Amino acid sequence: MAYQNESKPRFFYGWIVVASCFICCFSYGPFYTLGVFFTTLQQEFGWSSALTSSIHSLHLVVFIPSGIFMGWLCDKYGPRRPMILGAVFIGAGFGLLSQVNSLSQFYLFYAIASLGAGVIFAPPTSIVQKWFVKGSGLALGIVVAGVGASTLVYTPLAEHLISIYGWRTAYIQIGAGIYARLIRATLWATTPEKKGLQPYGAEVLSQQWKANETVVEVGWSVREALRNKSVWFIAAIFFCTVFPIHMMIVHLVPFAQSIGMERNIAAWALAIAGGVSILGRIITPTVAERTIGWRKGLIVVTAILAASFVWISQAASLWMLLVFAVVYGFCYGGKVPLIPALIRSYFGVESLGQLIGIVQAVGGIGGAFGPLLAGYIVDVTGSYVIAFLIGAAFWALAAFFAWLSKPPEREELKHLIK
């Protein structure tokens, strides 16, 4: 397809960023609310902490093939079809949760919702990286800030709906709202090729390449990338970060309640972490792109996150909880865009959606174990100390793998042109 000669105004590209951010916000936000429903479900059904945590573990197990499938759909057909599928599965699954009377039913309907959860990462992050050459770090940061916004929106919303209407009606309202918003977001889910346009900044970059005779990277195929050790180091980083992230998603609210906080205050602690993560998602990739790079940025934030988990393991008051929420939120938010940016910087955009989906799938395995292990430890010890220290160790491992990760050697890249 020939590219149109006329340039689109900047606000057009801005709307692409906003729409992709919107997708991130409303596709995954509901899965952050299990911690808010946690004690209510325990009281309703008499489930243990480990058993209740296993719901989120099941979600991540289903999320693995969903992420790969949605990434493949995105690369092959564009982002719109996976977006529609995601809206149907997530909306229907959460709506059906209002009818459960047993754990098996809860598993089934949560799994249905989880089938659509693969739209959270691969479509919006690959969309924005295909639309932007110049300013891609800032654009990507804004997009994944939608996940932080989803915590800020859905956590207090879920607490409010449970308090006013009960947990069953809360799930109906959440499911219906997600479906409507994601369907609307598909109107902007497209790529430059579909519009006959060039990415933002491509013209300027092309002139620079010609002037400097710079080598231009052509994207890797999935098969080529999977034969390179760098992609597996990135997958290991993702595994080690998702383990403690999902541990905290499920258990921060129950932990805060266990040290004497009311549920509404505990829910707001999680919401604050999500809100502050918005700043981290925007500031960190912007600064990393201009200064130390994606890999070193990952080393810095994961090291700080390891220290934050040691801190929360000893927390016994509101001010310590809030300090954790702010530090953890900013650095956790900063970690999120650095991984897809690192994938793109190493392997290009040809198979970006699939590679993000594969790396995300490996991480999902770690995420499935994180909340389940924490729940088991709490059932056995009655405390979160050991669980959070294990989480700290995983953050430290992530920093180590980021240090080991190196760009593919230039002589290995047979698909480069001048």
What is the rounded average pLDDT for all residues in the chain?
80
Instruction: Answer whether 182's CB lies under 8 Å from 27's CB.
Output: yes
**Tens of pLDDT, residue by residue, the chain (418 residues):** 344 434 555 556 666 777 777 777 777 778 888 888 998 999 999 999 999 999 988 888 888 788 778 777 777 777 777 888 888 999 999 999 999 999 999 999 999 999 888 776 667 776 776 777 666 667 777 776 777 677 778 888 899 999 999 999 999 999 998 888 888 777 666 666 666 667 666 665 445 444 443 334 456 766 776 677 777 888 888 889 989 998 998 899 899 988 888 888 888 888 888 888 888 888 887 788 788 888 888 899 999 999 999 999 998 888 999 999 999 999 988 887 788 778 777 776 666 666 777 777 777 777 788 888 999 999 999 899 999 999 999 999 999 988 887 776 644 444 443 3
pLDDT at residue 200, as a whole number: 67
pLDDT at residue 327, as a whole number: 94
pLDDT at residue 6, as a whole number: 44
pLDDT at residue 301, as a whole number: 92
pLDDT at residue 377, as a whole number: 95
Give pLDDT tens digits for 307-362: 999 999 998 888 999 999 999 999 988 887 788 778 777 776 666 666 777 777 77
Residue 410 has a CB neighbour count (10 Å cut-off) of: 9
b (16+ CB within 10 A) / e for 118-133: bbbbbbbbbbbbbbbb
Query: What is the C-alpha to C-alpha distance for residues 288 and 264, in angstroms, rounded to an integer?
Result: 35
Query: What is the C-alpha to C-alpha distance for residues 312 and 308, in angstroms, rounded to an integer?
Result: 6
Hey, what amino acid is at 72? W
Query: What is the C-alpha to C-alpha distance for residues 109 and 47, in angstroms, rounded to an integer?
Result: 17
Give pLDDT tens digits for 125-147: 767 767 776 666 677 777 767 77
pLDDT at residue 223, as a whole number: 72
Find, among 360, 341, 337, the residue nearest to 281 by Cα: 337
| Tokens 């499935």 sit on residue | 368
Query: Can you read off the two tokens belonging to residue 303?
Result: 């090291």
pLDDT at residue 109, as a whole number: 95
pTM equals: 0.71
Hey, what amino acid is at 22? F
pLDDT at residue 238, as a whole number: 87
